[in-house]
Structure 1
Amino acid sequence: MARPSIVPIALTLDDRTGYTLWAPPWEEDGEEWQAFLGGSVDGTAVVHLFPTPGALAAFCRTSTDHDLADHPVWPVVAGLGAADVTPDDDHRYDLDGVYDVVAENPDRWAVEELAATFDITGRLAECCDTAPEDDDEDDADDDADEDDDETTFEALAELMAKPEVALLGLGLDAFTGRAGEDAWIRLGGAVDELWEDVLGELEDHLDWTGAGTAELSEYPSAEEAGTEVDEDDADEDGADEDEDTADDDEVVAADEPVAVAPTSAIRSGGRLAPDPAAVAAAAGFWEGVGILPVEVVVPEGAGLTLRCYVEDTARFLGADGEVYLFGTPAELTAFVQGDEEHDLADIASWPEVEETTVSPLPVDQDRYDLVEVAEVLAEVADGAAGLVDHAVLVQAVEGVRDLAEYAGLARVEELLGAGTPLGQAVARAERDPRAALRAEDAARLTGPWDELVREVSTALVFRD
């Protein structure tokens, strides 16, 4: 389980955005805990939401009457300014936007956004569920099975039980092809049927007064809520007091770097063929520790490694700018459990990785098949135009940039510069991923892509 941390998040509901804090699951005294910044109002568990990060920071400095007061890192949080409690893009959840997402055709952004939104909604429900308990021990024993099923979030439980919701964890591939399209349509139907009730259940547990410090009219709309801290908030908060109090995405109580599980958009078949159910089962652990298994495929071969982000900078299992690759999950696990020094050893959650028996199986979005891109470009240049779109580049280039960043490969960024053929094609892919890749486009990209792959390969070391 990940080291105790506290993460700023933003929730948008009923066209207003509120800011709060979430403590992801951590273990203390042999028990697992999870909490949000909240408390109890008239016997109902609530999560406090604030109209600005500045208002949130001010509350944290002055109040200890809430569910996070006993969290291991709360003393650090209590001294933070508005900038430190402003959520990043990966921790902003638009609950109003779910209808719009399912109404469109699925893409990797839609699938990832829905998965993240459903996940945080479920976590809110877990922390706020106050289903009545039977105080009589004898009656409780007799009705144990019935009580286990009780919840104040019945609509959410019904939605989460839908198999289509579970498919979100498998990524876009689960919603491609005829069967995938049908699953997406069924998911949209479930949202149309249940999401309004889900929001109604959740609304009863959201405190839009900032624990009595704010008026409802102060909360910004989704359009008004930006990612930057207002200058007034910064001045009011004294955000410039201690710049080194917290530099990571997660607020922690130690100086060691903390891995942050990314939301990546790599989509490729790769060379491994693990069971999707096994991948989904393993994903929970790896996302929890913030260190993810990654597959890289280059002409020299395919291999597995591990990657995390520290202050938004990619870091791989390796040393001195070299990324270590292993042929099988078992070989990677054997290395992890050894004593060789590497650049992930000082990550806060690394001891959990060393001790785990969970196989390092990469999800599809963390598989970088650079050979496949070269093959596709060659096929399109040879006459397969119209069958492939620009999205094929987005998948691999994100991985390439991470590898180049870690290894310090300046030539890779030159090849991907805005004025280069590759840079222009990638920009087109990001702007219009479904734009068809023409034969002449592919012919121009083949040479630069091959050079880019050669550059990346210089940083890869295949280990036994």
Structure 2
Amino acid sequence: MGRHTKPEDADDMSTSDADTDSLDSEESPQRSAKADAFWEKVGVEPVEIALPKGVGLTLRAYRMSDAVETVEVEEEPEPEPEPEPKKGKKGKKAKKVEPEPEPEDDEDELDDVDLDADIEAELDEDEEEDTEPEPEEIPVFLTLRGKLPLFETPEALVKFVKSNPPTDLSGIDKWDDLVKGIKADYVVATEDDTYELDLVVRNLRGGHDTWDAELIVSAAEVARDLGYALRIPSVLSTLSQGSPLDDLDNALRSIADGGIRAMFAKRKARKVGEEQTALAWRGIVVKINDVVDWRK
């Protein structure tokens, strides 16, 4: 799969430049022009995510919320309750309860009740129309029953997709074309779609001078997407607009872009507590790791 291993100290590397180039070519397979054309056609991209438990592949698309169909997923059958043991012949007989006579309905009162119910129903409909959210662009993954299947190999991912499972991604417009045309050698994540969540906490604990802006910013990007797609409120709130991690994210983006703003961004980033930030990110990684379904 894509890039993952990052040396802690480049000076300690004993391999030559030629050896390094050879390793990079082996670890980072190049995607063909035909594969690029396929992913552009279906509007989906392979994504590689590294977590403490391993590295896996999935697929992600961005669509407008009103353009994604809700996929019906059959619930797993619940076990039937065991029948209650029958009582013996000497068991007590149930006491016969005479039905109580019902009072005659007051037509006027019923009319009032029905009228009130009709008014409330109309108000509820008006409120629903007024509060209907505007369509927005949302991330969609191969999520299934609240879990994120991550595949160790492209072949395993392709086999899963070809089985046409009722994932959230199967609700997009190009799903049938994707199922029909996907091939194992197409499943190569670009550098922009490769995320190393397993390295974030260690990098943050190394101190402000060692913080990798691109690593942390990209991790926040995929964490927000997964928090939304997998409905993980704690991840969304920790990375929400105006939160400490969001402020850090903005500062790191400025640092990565360089220029004059980068100097001010570095000062701002230095005011962020190292340990608190590392702990917050550890919580994010743990929450995401808990909903991953690892598949070979």
Q: TM-score range by the shorter chain?
A: 0.5 to 0.7
Is the 2:144–2:167 Cα contact (8 Å) retained in structure 1? yes
Is the 2:203–2:212 Cα contact (8 Å) retained in structure 1? no
* 1:364 aligns to 2:187 (yes or no): no
2:150 aligns to what SS in structure 1?
A: strand
Whichever residue aligns with residue 227 of structure 2, its letter is A
Q: Which of structures 1 and 2 has the larger relative contact order (alpha carbons within 8 angstroms, sep 6+)?
A: 2
Is the 1:333–1:359 Cα contact (8 Å) retained in structure 2? no
Residue 409 of structure 1 aligns with which residue? 232
Is the 2:60–2:141 Cα contact (8 Å) retained in structure 1? yes
Identify the match of residue 288 of structure 2 among 456, 459, 464.
456
Is the 1:390–1:425 Cα contact (8 Å) retained in structure 2? no
Q: Deviations over 1:103-153 (max 9, x none)?
A: xxxxxxxxxxxxxxxxxxxxxxxxxxxxxxxxxxxxxxxxxxxxxxxxxxx
Whichever residue aligns with residue 350 of structure 1, its letter is W
**Alpha-carbon separation, structure 1, partners of 2:271 and 2:53:** 27
Q: How far did 1:410 drift?
A: 0.9
Q: Deviations over 1:328-375 (max 9, x none)?
A: 111101111114322222322222222223521111111121112122
1:325 aligns to what SS in structure 2?
A: strand
Residue 373 of structure 1 aligns with which residue? 200
Q: How far did 1:389 drift?
A: 4.8
Q: Which aligned pairs between 1:237-256 and structure 2 lie closer than 5 A? A: none
**Alpha-carbon separation, structure 1, partners of 2:150 and 2:197:** 15
Residue 106 of structure 1 aligns with which residue? none
Residue 301 of structure 1 aligns with which residue? 54
Q: What stretches of structure 1 move > 6 A for 4+ residues in a row?
A: none
Distance 1:419 1:286, change over 3 A: closer
Q: How far did 1:307 drift?
A: 0.9
1:386 aligns to what SS in structure 2?
A: helix
Q: Which aligned pairs between 1:29-428 and structure 2 lie closer than 5 A? A: 273-276=27-30, 278=31, 281-311=34-64, 312-356=137-181, 357=183, 358-380=185-207, 385-418=208-241, 420-428=243-251
1:344 aligns to what SS in structure 2?
A: helix
Q: How far did 1:420 drift?
A: 3.8
Q: How far did 1:442 drift?
A: 2.9
Distance 1:389 1:324, change over 3 A: closer
**Alpha-carbon separation, structure 1, partners of 2:240 and 2:186:** 37
Q: How far did 1:448 drift?
A: 0.4
Distance 1:439 1:371, change over 3 A: farther
Whichever residue aligns with residue 188 of structure 2, its letter is L
Whichever residue aligns with residue 246 of structure 2, its letter is G
Whichever residue aligns with residue 364 of structure 1, its letter is E
Is the 1:280–1:363 Cα contact (8 Å) retained in structure 2? no
Q: Any gaps of 5 or more consecutive residues in structure 1?
A: 1-271
Normalising by structure 2, report the TM-score. Answer: 0.57
**Alpha-carbon separation, structure 2, partners of 1:345 and 1:366:** 20
1:345 aligns to what SS in structure 2?
A: helix
Is the 1:330–1:359 Cα contact (8 Å) retained in structure 2? no
Q: How far did 1:431 drift?
A: 4.1
**Alpha-carbon separation, structure 2, partners of 1:348 and 1:418:** 30
**Alpha-carbon separation, structure 2, partners of 1:419 and 1:348:** 34
Normalising by structure 1, report the TM-score. Answer: 0.38
Q: Percent identity?
A: 29
Q: How far did 1:440 drift?
A: 6.2
**Alpha-carbon separation, structure 1, partners of 2:272 and 2:217:** 19
**Alpha-carbon separation, structure 1, partners of 2:272 and 2:290:** 29
More strand by share: 1
1:457 aligns to what SS in structure 2?
A: helix
Is the 1:293–1:366 Cα contact (8 Å) retained in structure 2? yes
Residue 100 of structure 2 aligns with which residue? none
**Alpha-carbon separation, structure 1, partners of 2:240 and 2:165:** 37
Query: CA-atom RMSD, angstroms?
Result: 2.4
Q: Deviations over 1:243-296 (max 9, x none)?
A: xxxxxxxxxxxxxxxxxxxxxxxxxxxxx92323x3665222112210111111
Distance 1:306 1:403, change over 3 A: same
